[in-house]
Amino acid sequence: MALRNCKLIDPEQGIFSFLDLVTFRLSGPHFWHNEDINDESVKMSAFRAYEEDGDANNLLEVGNIAIADATLDPTEPDIAALQEADVHAVDQALFEGAQAQLIADGNTLVRWMSSQLNQTADMKGLVTAYIVSTQGVERQCIALRLTSKARKIVAVGVFDIAKKDVLASLIFGVMRSMALVP
């Protein structure tokens, strides 16, 4: 049996663990579907949120969140060592990298919001928000970068701007629930 990148550790609360590095909570009323993606440079779990489209037999994807161990990616910043004075330079590098990737994928960067370094007693994370246009649909993206057990973790949540009143709290809730595994 293949090992999974994510495991459900508290079914009543919807708490998952990613590679025993971070935990997070997926809330409903949405149905969540998980897919692991692995190659030589990344281990990732993608969760897609679905809701009924007026028909119990027809589900629509309304948002998603992907969590990755990006330790082997040399372009990923080391958040453990990041200081406030370094944020602007890191933000600029992330902007250039995101823009190049979006163009290569045939998408458009609509708006880039400056990265913010958030620190608590338990965790330090770099949060970057931006809006992309994919096939004519504008989507909000929120990336959270952090370090757990000397591993670079990147979580990216995405939802359609047109449904932000409902979906923003769903994706932000998952991001806010992230905690480092000791």
Stronger pLDDT, 112 or 54, i.e. the higher one: 112
**Which residues lie across from 63 on neighbouring strands?**
49, 159
Looking at domain 6-180, its CATH superfamily turns out to be: Mog1/PsbP, alpha/beta/alpha sandwich (3.40.1000.10)
Per-residue b or e along 35-60, where b marks 16 or more CB atoms closer than 10 Å to that residue's CB: eeeeeeeebbbbbbbbbeeeeeeebe
How many degrees, rounded to 5, is the angle at CA 85 between CA 152 and CA 42? 15
- Between the alpha carbon of residue 134 and those of residues 22, 46, 103, 128, the distances in Å are 29, 18, 11, 18
Average pLDDT score over the chain: 91
Question: Where do the structural domains in the chain lie, given as residue ranges?
Answer: 6-180
Render pLDDT for 87-143 as a digit per residue (tens, 0 to 9).
999 999 999 999 999 999 999 999 999 999 999 888 999 999 999 999 889 999 999
Least confident of 8-22, 29-43, 151-165: 29-43
- Highest average pLDDT, of 35-39, 47-51, 112-116, comes from 112-116
Mean pLDDT lowest among 4-18, 27-41, 138-152: 27-41
The pTM for the full model equals 0.91
Looking at residues 47-62, what average pLDDT do you find? 78
Q: What is the DSSP letter of 124?
A: E
pLDDT range class, residue 1, cuts 50, 70, 90: very low
